[in-house]
Amino acid sequence: MDTNNTKSRSLETAKSLWTDFKQRPLWRKICDILLVLFALAGAAIIGAWGLYQLGVTNNRGAIDKNYRYMVSASEVAQGAVRQDTVDLHGQLLRLASVAERYPVNARLMLNAVVQSDDPTLLDRMLAALAVYTDTAHLTPNTAHLTPNTQNAIPWMATPEWEALKGAIVRDSALIHEAGRLTGVEPRLIVGCLIGEQIRLFNSKREIFKRYLGPVKVLSVQSQFSYGVNGIKDFTAEAVEQHLKDPTSEYYMGPAYEHLLDFETDDHETERYNRLVDYRNHLYSYIYTGCILHQTMLQWRRAGYDISDRPDLLFTLFNVGFSQSHPKPDPMPGGSHITVADRKYTFGAIGFDFYYSGELADAFPYSTTHFVESTHALTPDEVERIQDNMSNCARPEKGLEYRRDSSAASIQQPARQTEPPDPFGIDHSKVKPVEHTAQ
């Protein structure tokens, strides 16, 4: 009986409200409808924000289907490490065979190997290329097949990649500076950048055609994930905390404690301004380097050295600290990225780039991927890092992609003198040359 009475009263209330609504003037009805729509939109926004804060939107990632090839490349690195244990004759024969079938890739490999002191680099590059080719079985007798005049890695044979190369080279000075400050090989930082930018280039194809491609600038995110590398605010905050906490498994050491010191008490706003900077991306690269270095240390302290596993480092950068669980048999992968109707994982994109030989002139290979600094930053050095923040207010839509806009201008790191490079890279030989589409 009580249930029936409740239903009856609810029905009467609804009828009364409907009658009242019909009797209202037209302008009042429009206002009521708009009020309800705004309320629903607000509820949706608050709900989305709540899910984001709870981590429900975090990408859990997936294991890459080609993970065995990535593991095989790392096994090469963990095998022969001395020049006298490397089969140079066999390496050159395999490279010559690749040149017959995949001349673009062979040329990139040769250029990279000539600049490197790593005797295992070519073997790893050949193992990595086998993901897309039959290079693992090529011999002079089988290489006579029709040569492929494009890059054998499919996503590297796209106009998006040609444009992205130019944009990355424009930031080479900033990336090298971030590598020096964080003790991370610059090429690893670039691998993370490429995974995020390839995803953005393909999700914003119209913007790419109109602005990003012709002008060669990086896409900057300003919602949920920030900057050119798509770093979430809570991830950036965690990086800052790890720098200060000597008890953390991610602690990088006293030399890095002041690397991300703030200028103001409004850390949230300053953090946002650091990352969402359309002119100077140094802070995005510094946070990226810290994430890579901190994750590597977490695994090393747990007994697993992944410093020579770029596939895992890129994957862990993508999935975040919350999914970084050291174990003996990790598998690379990460979020899925679709390029030209082919699906890749974030870890695979970074892995492909790292061992491809692409951009080796601007970002040479180093035999050391991480270094531990013993030099604590002075207050003046911290201030010079902070000077790299520009007026990061978002320009008028499209303006950041124009050649004559200051928002699209090339920035150099603010510093007084050229410090020694911890990875032994001779910057006088680095060639930051613009790449153009062929």
**N-to-C CA span, the chain:** 80
Is 10 within a domain?
A: no
Whether residues 160 and 42 fall in one domain: no
Whether residues 279 and 401 fall in one domain: yes
What is the chain's Cα-based Rg? 26
Band of the pLDDT at 14, cuts 50, 70, 90? Answer: low
Whether residues 51 and 192 fall in one domain: no
Is 315 within a domain?
A: yes
What letter represents residue 338's amino acid?
T
Is 164 within a domain?
A: yes
What letter represents residue 274's amino acid?
R
User: What value does the mean pLDDT of the chain take?
Assistant: 80
Band of the pLDDT at 19, cuts 50, 70, 90? Answer: confident
As a whole number of angstroms, the distance between CA 136 and CA 151 comes to 17
3-class SS at 225? strand
Is 307 within a domain?
A: yes
Whether residues 47 and 180 fall in one domain: no
Range of the domain at 48: 23-57
Angle at 344 between CA 343 and CA 347, to 5 degrees: 165
Is 436 within a domain?
A: no
Whether residues 365 and 235 fall in one domain: yes
List residues bridging with 430 in a β-sheet.
none
Of 7, 33, 57, the position where a domain reaches its end is: 57
Looking at the 3D structure of the chain, how many domains does it have? Answer: 2
Q: Answer yes or no: pTM beyond 0.85.
A: no
As a whole number of angstroms, the distance between CA 415 and CA 429 comes to 20
Whether residues 275 and 401 fall in one domain: yes
Is 84 within a domain?
A: no
Is 54:232 a contact under the CB 8 Å cutoff?
no
As a whole number of angstroms, the distance between CA 122 and CA 105 comes to 12
Is 119 within a domain?
A: no
Is 281 within a domain?
A: yes
Largest Cα span, the chain? 94
pLDDT digits (tens, 9 = 90+) for 356-375: 999 999 999 998 999 998 88
pLDDT digits (tens, 9 = 90+) for 155-185: 999 888 988 999 999 999 999 999 999 999 9
If one counts every other C-beta atom within 10 angstroms of the C-beta of residue 252, the result is 23
Of 57, 75, 104, the position where a domain reaches its end is: 57
Alpha helices in 276-326 (DSSP H): 282-301, 310-319
Burial class (CB in 10 A: 0-12, 13-18, 19+), 209: exposed
